[in-house]
Amino acid sequence: MLITPVAHPARADGPWVFAPARQARRRVRPPRPAPPGAAPPISAVLFDRDGTLIEDVPYNGDPGRVRPMPGARAAVEAVRGRGLCLGVVSNQSGVARGLLTRERVAAVRRRVEELLGPFGVWAVCPHGPDEGCGCRKPAPGLVYAACAELGVDPARTAVVGDIGADLAAARAAGARGVLVPTPVTRPEEVAAAEDCAPDLLTAVRRLLDPEDAPLGPEDTEGPPAQEPPRHRPAQGPAGGAP
């Protein structure tokens, strides 16, 4: 049965939340129990959008410019194959800057789902970096909003992203953060990451099978030096997204 996503009205100071009909999430299988002394198994994986799931095109509102990152489809399918919840958490300050509209953000979301399949929730921060909202990463609001919509505990949730703000948002919400570096990832963000993987599929596989080797900064050497860095707006020490 085709489920048409709907956009839930957001509070003036909160994120935009796009989610499918609630009955779709009843099919999610419960997580496998954790071995004694191990961290609880994850019930959901939330992905950053730009630079993680798709190529980072600054303030992109054009579905025709959407290109999946290497391994994105396989990583997302691996999560689906385990019956876990899937979501996207994305800063989109282009809205506050007058460069994007809600319709353009939704159009890009639809194109991502055409390429990668459906996600249970999209939580989008439309605010600028100076507005002091509680949803813009590195604040935890997007993670909280996505988990609330999916009905999962943040402590059983993993957030996968490419910069320090993604991991800071996960940490602030009590979720697990995993860094997958790209050319815009700062060396200090790689060094500070508790969990780090060289590519998206490896990150997901290790989340799904925690008995594998632990993640850590030693698993990646950071962004390839020969590649020019993509656009990254100036942010504070924790890093940030568009």
Q: Tell me which residue has tokens 């780090």.
A: 196
Residue of 13, 50, 56, 195 marked active site: 50
* Other C-beta atoms lying within 10 Å of the C-beta of residue 36: 5
| 144 vs 175: CA distance, rounded Å | 10
In the residue annotation, 199 being an active-site residue is answered as no
Output the pTM of the full model: 0.80
pLDDT (tens, 9 = 90+) of the chain, 242 residues, equals 333 344 444 445 789 999 864 434 434 444 454 444 445 689 999 999 999 999 999 999 999 999 999 999 999 999 999 999 999 999 999 999 999 999 999 999 999 999 999 999 999 999 999 999 999 999 999 999 999 999 999 999 999 999 999 999 999 999 999 999 999 999 999 999 999 999 999 999 999 987 654 444 444 444 443 344 444 544 443 444 47
Residue of 13, 48, 153, 166 marked active site: 48
Tell me the three-class secondary structure of 157-176, residue by residue: EEEEECCHHHHHHHHHHCCE
In the residue annotation, 48 being an active-site residue is answered as yes
